[in-house]
Amino acid sequence: MALSGAQRRRLDARLEALGHGGGPAQLAAHLRSPSGAADLARLVDAVAVHTSEVFRDEVQLAAFREHVLSPRVQRSKTPLRVWSAGCAAGEEVATLLLMMAQEGADPASRVLGTDISEQVLTRARELSFPAEALRRVPEGPRARYFEPRGRRHALVGSLRAQAEFRRHNLMEAPYPEAPGGGGFDVIFCRNVLIYFTPDAFQRTVRSLSERLAPGGVLVLSAAEPLLQVPPELRLLPSEHAFFYVREDAPAVEAPRPKRDSTAPKPDVPVPPDETAMADWLFSCVLDGASTGVPDERSERDLRRCLDLDPDHVAARYLLGLLLEQCGQPGAALEAYRRALRAVESGRARPVPFFLNLPRLRVACARAVERLEAEGAR
Ligand SMILES: C[S@@+](CC[C@H](N)C(=O)[O-])C[C@H]1O[C@@H](n2cnc3c(N)ncnc32)[C@H](O)[C@@H]1O
């Protein structure tokens, strides 16, 4: 994990309380031993962020329903196998079960929720939520799929029976298997990878994609677009969201097309003015991420885009991600800071991207905090 300043301070305080006079090696051995399990769990909970809500990010969920869930239910009546990796207190699992019921998925469908934190999983297993966690659920489905339980609202029993929860650390192999083998139809891993280092982020994406069934879909949050899409995944963009689909392995490994992202697309005329040209270059970079365009070319295109429009915040944010991924934390930090200044000063204009300006602001601020805590300059 890439710890923020606040997380580091909380972790330090717990370590201090634990006392580790015997040195780091002895402390690590204690934490790995059965008698250290409770201490380890407390350390994990000092740094884990469990914020979530039922129906979190309705825009992305609406696109998921339209482009992924509904077509899959129409196409095949077989039960769905879904995994919510980093499920917090079960909010995402409840969201998925509810949407699957609304779309008429086979009742034998299953949703697996996993998290590193036992503490949060104990709450998740109840699948019951305080009213604030349901504020995004429209009245109709709320009345139909939740029942009062004291001051809380529990998902109805028939849907609760379709859920399973298990502890799993995404840093550890083996990853869970889908019921019956053959991979998951859908994996949600939202707002988990943003806390990881770039290397852990990439490794996790590769491991998750290995657990997808052919045609299965990986759903990351809007703040987590991939700049290196594993070869077996294809980008499925929609107007307001993006998903990654696992392609069926071709019988003979065909070379992936290396498109020249700066060459005009045949059916798209090169736009005349500078901002339109900047947007066009930016869209070429997004496209290129799923067709194997090398990082150097993406970086060159992003820089050209920024020469034309220095306040193109989405391009500046992607440049930050790319530089971080290429091992240049100092340059990445500068890119995030400039992006943040452009949004805060009101100079940035909205452009078609998965993150709108308020969310880009949050993503950039988080990245700055994270890199500063790591000592990047
Ligand atoms: C911010 S919550 C996201 C919850 C939900 N996916 C959503 O988008 O609303 C992140 C969750 O990831 C979990 N997490 C963090 N690191 C993890 C790891 N290495 N393996 C599994 N879960 C992890 C945390 O415990 C936390 O519950």
We report the CATH number of the domain holding residue 152 as 3.40.50.150
Given this model, what pLDDT does residue 292 score? 66
In the reported structure, the alpha carbon of residue 140 is separated from the centroid of ligand 1 by a whole-number distance in angstroms of 29
User: Is residue 31, in this structure, part of any structural domain at all?
Assistant: no
Last residue within a domain, chosen from 196, 228, 246: 246
Are 108 and 212 in a shared domain?
yes
**pTM assigned to the model:** 0.77
User: Is residue 97, in this structure, part of any structural domain at all?
Assistant: yes
Are 137 and 212 in a shared domain?
yes
Are 239 and 286 in a shared domain?
no
Given this model, what pLDDT does residue 249 score? 52
Using CB distances shorter than 6 Å, the residues near ligand 1 are 48-52, 56, 86-88, 91-92, 115-117, 120, 169-171, 190-192
Are 224 and 86 in a shared domain?
yes
Are 196 and 73 in a shared domain?
yes
User: Is residue 20, in this structure, part of any structural domain at all?
Assistant: no
pLDDT tens-digit readout, 273-317? 788 888 888 888 877 765 667 788 889 999 999 999 999 999 999
Q: For residue 225, give the nearest of 306, 314, 302 by alpha carbon.
A: 314
Given this model, what pLDDT does residue 263 score? 43
Structure tokens at 52: 């979530």
User: Is residue 33, in this structure, part of any structural domain at all?
Assistant: no
Q: Which atom of ligand 1 is nearest to the CA of 52?
A: 9
Given this model, what pLDDT does residue 272 score? 55
Are 141 and 279 in a shared domain?
no
Residue nearest to atom 8 of ligand 1 (CA): 190
In the reported structure, the alpha carbon of residue 129 is separated from the centroid of ligand 1 by a whole-number distance in angstroms of 17
Rounded Cα gap, residues 124 and 95, in angstroms:
12
User: Is residue 27, in this structure, part of any structural domain at all?
Assistant: no
Quickly list H helices, the chain: 5-18, 24-32, 37-47, 58-64, 70-75, 91-103, 118-124, 139-145, 157-160, 198-210, 274-289, 295-308, 313-325, 329-344, 357-373
Are 353 and 211 in a shared domain?
no
Query: What is the domain range of residue 281?
Result: 274-373
Given this model, what pLDDT does residue 235 score? 82
In this prediction, the residues of the chain whose per-residue pLDDT falls under 70 are 248-272, 289-292
- How many structural domains comprise the chain? 2
Alpha carbon of residue 188 to chain centroid: 7
Task: Please report, for residues 15, 46, 179, 367, the alpha-carbon distance to residue 19 in angstroms, rounded to integers and kept in the order given.
Answer: 6, 16, 42, 31
pLDDT tens-digit readout, 165-204? 999 999 999 999 999 899 999 999 998 987 887 788 889 9
